[in-house]
Amino acid sequence: MPTTSCFDGFETYVIENERLRLTLLPSLGGKAISLINKQTGREWLDRPSGRPFQRPTNGSFWGDWDRCGWDEMIPTIDPCTVTLHDGSVLYAPDHGEVWSLPWSIYREDYQTTVLSVEGPIWPYSLEKRISLNGSTIQFSYRLLNKSKLALPFIWAPHPILKAREGMQIILPDSVDNVVVAVASTGWLGERDSSWNWPVAEVQGKLNSLDSMPALSTNRFQKLYVNPDLHCSWCMVLDPSTGEAFRFDYDPSQLPYTGIWMNAGGWAGEYQVALEPSTGYLDHLGEAFATGRCASIEAGEGRSWELACSIT
């Protein structure tokens, strides 16, 4: 049974079973602030101490606030303007619109909790259904276009995981190439640079791009699986304990896979995130122009699924 409580002045909503406990802040982007493996006691989501949750200003930069937990990003990741087919221009703020908004929440039945939100600039509604089954959280999404035009969009989950040195990013064996969305200056070259995976020769040295470096490395990168190499799952593995955080998804729904690794290079944080996505390289304007994002016709809906397994 879901339970409610309060944290930093925000109502929390806890969903749990015998193996997992997921804590949500519905009024703060519907974000998850805790994901605990009850079998081991491990907290997977990053939440630095001494950093209270506050209500963000709509349209502000994600990095100006708590920088943790698990948000939803739509209709973009990078802030940008997008020119639609009729010539109208819409602005899409940093990390999208909905992470800073209150979401509605209700319990549909014994197993399913539903959250929903309305786009404040872009005319859409987004619904997220959550159900727990053993060690797996099943997320079911439904996006409805309320405009009279087709709307392009990038959606991706944004689960900021606590990093540990030596954590590994595991991808299907067929993935042997990744592309840079953004990286520390002088580290992996410019945006759209391509590198071998999992080991790449960078500046004359072999680097394991799939392994989390020490915090003192002071670098970061956001990579995408080469868009010609669709994958249906991705995983963060902690070899020191054997524990893992895994996403499974349909590549026809989520054809792109992003990987964020931050070893102190951005804001001093130590984080890793997996981001299966409907769009490529974070910037909706660019993705729309190159045909590498999803689009939804006027008045229509679109659905997709994401399974998160904690072992």
Looking at the structure, tell me whether residues 199 and 144 fall in a common domain.
Answer: no
In terms of domains, do 80 and 20 share one? Answer: yes
Note whether 151 and 176 are same-domain residues.
no
pLDDT at residue 51 in the model: 86
Q: Encoding tokens for residue 214?
A: 């020490």
Does a structural domain hold residue 1? no
CA 126 to chain centre: 15
The rounded average pLDDT for each run of 10 residues, N- to C-terminus, in the chain (311 residues) is 79 96 97 98 93 93 96 98 92 98 90 95 97 98 97 99 98 98 93 98 95 98 97 98 99 99 97 99 97 97 99 96
C-alpha 307/C-alpha 161 separation (Å) is 16
2 in any annotated domain: no
Angstrom distance (rounded) from CA 110 to CA 131? 9
Neighbours of 103 (CB within 10 A): 22
Range of the domain at 33: 7-155+278-311
Q: Is 69 left (phi over 0), alpha (psi -120 to 50) or beta?
A: left
The length of the chain, given as a count of residues:
311
Together in a domain, 142 and 189: no
Residues 98 and 200 in one domain: no
- Residue 180 confidence (pLDDT): 98
C-alpha gyration radius of the chain: 19
The whole-number pLDDT of residue 1 equals: 55
pTM of the model: 0.97
Residues 166 and 143 in one domain: no
Q: How far is CA 178 from each of CA 47, 94, 168, 226, 281, rounded to the nearest angstrom?
A: 29, 23, 15, 5, 11
Measured distance CA(73)–CA(287) in Å, rounded: 15
Residues 194 and 236 both lie in one domain:
yes
Number of domains in the chain: 2
Residue 84 lies in a domain: yes
Q: Are residues 269 and 284 in the same domain?
A: no
239 and 225 housed in the same domain: yes
First to last CA, the chain: 22
